[in-house]
Amino acid sequence: MTETFIPKSKEEALKLLNQRKCIILAGGTNLMVKRKKWSGEMADFGSDIVLIKHLKELQNIDINNKYLSIGAGCTLAELQESILLGAYFSEIILAIASQTIRNAATIGGNICNVASEGDILPLLYALDATLIIECLNGTREIAISDFIMEPGKKDLREDELLVEIRIPTNMLLSYYYKKVGTKRSNSLAKASFIGLYKLENERIEDVRMAFGAIGARVVRSREFENSLKGLNKEELQVVLKDLEKEYIKIIVPIDDKKKSTAEYRKGICLELMREFLESIYNRD
């Protein structure tokens, strides 16, 4: 018989995680589907559950001169409405599921679900987000790209809780985002792309590109991004073909019956990248 715990504070939740094997349940939008049995029956979690979504300590959105801090328990709906976050958060979140799901689903759950389709993940990679993980004995900070090891596998011990997401305040605000799915929302992405950029005197000062939903992990290459810095429109045109050849090597989708062929999704990714890069000089 499994027990459900409703801790009064983050501290109490950490104590519980320290004392016994518990499944962390935030919004439950992933877990309830994954653990569901037959219709009308309670989901089967197989071990005790600790609820965290009500914990106020996990629900802050704040900014200081170093980073933007997002509590892991903030719902997608709260993030979408926050004036502290860039417009890209709102656009990406509105393409996730339905309002009902977004009211319950948390950003911590989106990250800790470690599904390749997690729609927030490419943006967090592009923004160089780090995660604050706590256990009873201390806190550690880890880059999101190191936290997610492969779908379903993350760098999180059973006694640990993701408490906060930090984003350096040097956020690039100009962006291009596309999610390719069967329908605009309420469907999982076949591929997604976020491009962020900053131009200075018509030359690329900074650019970030992240591809989601195509394989085990989000694809991003700082090396290729750096090779674009300083280029103007004409110079970018010259290197574009070679850049695509380099990305072809690292964008390796898997064939997936539900998502169409790997070749098709690779083609989409390159097309989205091209569209992004060709558009940036016409947008500022």
Ligand X SMILES: Cc1cc2nc3c(=O)[nH]c(=O)nc-3n(C[C@H](O)[C@H](O)[C@H](O)COP(=O)(O)OP(=O)(O)OC[C@H]3O[C@@H](n4cnc5c(N)ncnc54)[C@H](O)[C@@H]3O)c2cc1C
Binding site for ligand X (CB under 6 A): 23-31, 33, 52, 72, 76, 96-97, 101, 104-106, 108-110, 112-113, 117-119, 156, 161-162, 186, 188
Query: Nearer to ligand X by C-beta: 72 or 277?
Result: 72
Query: Nearer to ligand X by C-beta: 76 or 277?
Result: 76
**Nearest distance from C-beta of residue 72 to ligand X, angstroms:** 4
Please report, as a single letter, which amino acid is at residue 268.
Answer: I
**Nearest distance from C-beta of residue 130 to ligand X, angstroms:** 15
**Nearest distance from C-beta of residue 87 to ligand X, angstroms:** 18
**Nearest distance from C-beta of residue 29 to ligand X, angstroms:** 3
By Cβ distance, which residue is nearest to ligand X? 109
Please report, as a single letter, which amino acid is at residue 221.
Answer: S
| Cβ-contact 2, 49 below 8 angstroms | yes
- Report the sign of the C-alpha dihedral through residues 178, 181, 183, 185, in that order: negative
| Cβ-contact 58, 163 below 8 angstroms | yes
CA distance 85 to 21: 35
**Nearest distance from C-beta of residue 202 to ligand X, angstroms:** 35
Q: 260-276 in b/e burial notation, b at 16+ Cβ within 10 A?
A: bebeebbebbbebbeeb
**Nearest distance from C-beta of residue 21 to ligand X, angstroms:** 12
Query: Nearer to ligand X by C-beta: 13 or 243?
Result: 13
Length of the chain as a residue count: 284
| Cβ-contact 254, 262 below 8 angstroms | yes
Query: Nearer to ligand X by C-beta: 49 or 277?
Result: 49
| Cβ-contact 279, 242 below 8 angstroms | no
Query: Nearer to ligand X by C-beta: 113 or 231?
Result: 113
**Nearest distance from C-beta of residue 229 to ligand X, angstroms:** 30
CA distance 176 to 269: 13
From 83, 70, 69, 282, select the one nearest 176 (Cα to Cα). Answer: 282
Query: Nearer to ligand X by C-beta: 41 or 234?
Result: 41
Query: Nearer to ligand X by C-beta: 109 or 195?
Result: 109
CA distance 186 to 246: 33
